[in-house]
A and B are shown apart, each in its own frame.
Chain A
């Protein structure tokens, strides 16, 4: 069974490029501020979710394993 993901959006970083919405449309949508919001972390494969996070031009999407807390994206050190 696929692992459960915890997906967060850093609103200080998100610039509303919509790349994530286009890459994984079931998972993300734009909210009323034009920023990304997670609507359903299970709507797409882990691969698509990670592709959306990697494609984010402002690195605003953080993906973790919901059970272990392991960070899957961004790589260590990238946000500091």
Chain B
């Protein structure tokens, strides 16, 4: 199949659905020579890869380490050491052990307790901007909500929040493959170092004096006598911060754009706020915050009629799977009442997003509040002027000006 192979052109960034949809319909497991890996685009193939971690590895560090020179490996040892402890980049049995322990501290029931506080934060943020009649939705709202929620949940004091957020953003640079950042690995390590220095005394403190926060829950999590080490608690704090920031921001921003472009669905939510849960699932499916996620083949395997060789890398394209007409009726339509909605926006299988209940809760409360308080909200620019960050993984708007 003849296809334009650059995944970062303005057209692909603006509308990945048409681009990846074309691949899904014509060459569903597609070798992209420019990126040097396979694009997996059909729902069933993506789900199969998610379900088979024995074959399709998440061990990003193993592959990164082989790409680095000896000197770079030495320079980036801290980054490699900690990221290789992040659940998202590990395989069983290490992944199983840490996930089971962290899972105890981060259950849907414990997350649900944050709902009243999330509502309050949303209310305060919206009250600040309401008299203005306009806002840059990301900077003024979508940015703050997840940061405040995850910081408070972890136990970061209010006065440190901004600083911690900045370090976390630096740390995350390495993951969002941006064409415009050659020094991103060094900056990432620098940010990580600051975060570790910040959290280390907190972890020691919580071991001695437990509080009602997530760091305490992490140090106390126990399974058959097994506990997380300090290093593992620290790695988990940094991954939760990182994962709890940008992704939820993008879910909120992309969701609002989807509503603005489907006014009927926005009005439907105003009339029927009880649709909020399926509505958020539909926003995740329709234009979720993560376009794709990586896997590495640990052994030769067949997928969608193609032979994946040992060592090959793959992009599981969630943005294509979630619009697969073999799985969803009218996949390109936004239907906030859609049920069931087995989207893979949070992944599937052993790596399914740990923070999904928190992201759902924040999005549900945010869109409920917005639809009730700002029913007239609209884009302050033409939709075609919206710009996305040049990354393969994240579906991330640069700015989202709105008015009411």
Q: Hey, which chain B residues are within 8 Å of A59, CB to CB?
A: 108, 357
Which of B99-107, B146-154, B187-195 makes up part of the contact surface?
A: B99-107
Q: Tell me the count of chain B residues lying within 8 A, CB to CB, of chain A.
A: 27
- In the complex, the answer to whether B339 meets A12 with C-beta atoms within 8 Å is yes
Assembled-state Cα–Cα distance A58/B357 (Å): 7
Which of B302-310, B328-336, B342-350 makes up part of the contact surface?
A: B342-350
Which of A1-9, A13-21, A38-46, A62-70 makes up part of the contact surface?
A: A13-21
Assembled-state Cα–Cα distance A55/B79 (Å): 30
Q: Is the interface of A mostly helix, strand, loop or mixed?
A: loop
- In the complex, the answer to whether A78 meets B112 with C-beta atoms within 8 Å is yes
B352 in complex: contacting residue of A16, A22, A55, A80, CB < 8 Å: A16
| Contact indicator per residue, chain B 4-19, by CB within 8 Å of chain A (1) or not (0) | 0000000000000000
Assembled-state Cα–Cα distance A15/B99 (Å): 15
Assembled-state Cα–Cα distance A19/B104 (Å): 10
Q: Hey, which chain A residues are within 8 Å of B357, CB to CB?
A: 57, 59
- In the complex, the answer to whether A57 meets B353 with C-beta atoms within 8 Å is yes
Assembled-state Cα–Cα distance A16/B48 (Å): 11
Q: Hey, which chain A residues are within 8 Å of B99, CB to CB?
A: 19
Given contacts A75-B109, A78-B108, contact A34 B103 (CB under 8 A): no
Given contacts A34-B47, A78-B112, contact A55 B104 (CB under 8 A): yes
Assembled-state Cα–Cα distance A54/B341 (Å): 22
A34 in complex: contacting residue of B107, B340, B348, CB < 8 Å: B348
Q: Hey, which chain B residues are within 8 Å of A54, CB to CB?
A: 107-109
Residue of A12, A15, A59 with highest tally of chain B CB at under 10 A:
A15
Q: In residues 352-372 of chain B, which contact A (Cβ within 8 Å)? A: 352-354, 356-357
B103 in complex: contacting residue of A16, A57, A74, A75, CB < 8 Å: A57
B51 within 8 A of A: yes
B63 within 8 A of A: no
* Cβ distance B273 to chain A, nearest Cβ, rounded Å: 13
* Cβ distance A26 to chain B, nearest Cβ, rounded Å: 15
A56 within 8 A of B: yes
B163 within 8 A of A: no
- B110: nearest chain-A partner, CB-CB: A54
- In the complex, the answer to whether A34 meets B51 with C-beta atoms within 8 Å is yes
- A18: nearest chain-B partner, CB-CB: B350
- In the complex, the answer to whether A74 meets B109 with C-beta atoms within 8 Å is yes
B342 in complex: contacting residue of A12, A17, A18, A22, CB < 8 Å: A12
In the complex, 28 of the A-B residue pairs with CB atoms within 8 angstroms, ordered by the A residue number, are A12-B339, A12-B342, A15-B346, A15-B347, A16-B50, A16-B51, A16-B348, A16-B349, A16-B350, A17-B352, A19-B100, A19-B103, A22-B96, A23-B100, A34-B47, A34-B50, A34-B349, A55-B100, A56-B108, A57-B103, A57-B108, A57-B353, A57-B356, A59-B357, A74-B108, A75-B109, A78-B108, A78-B109
Besides A16-B349, A58-B352, A80-B277, 17 new A-B residue pairs in contact (Cβ under 8 A), listed by A number:
A12-B341, A12-B342, A16-B50, A16-B352, A17-B349, A17-B352, A18-B96, A18-B350, A19-B100, A23-B100, A34-B47, A34-B50, A34-B349, A57-B352, A57-B353, A57-B354, A78-B108
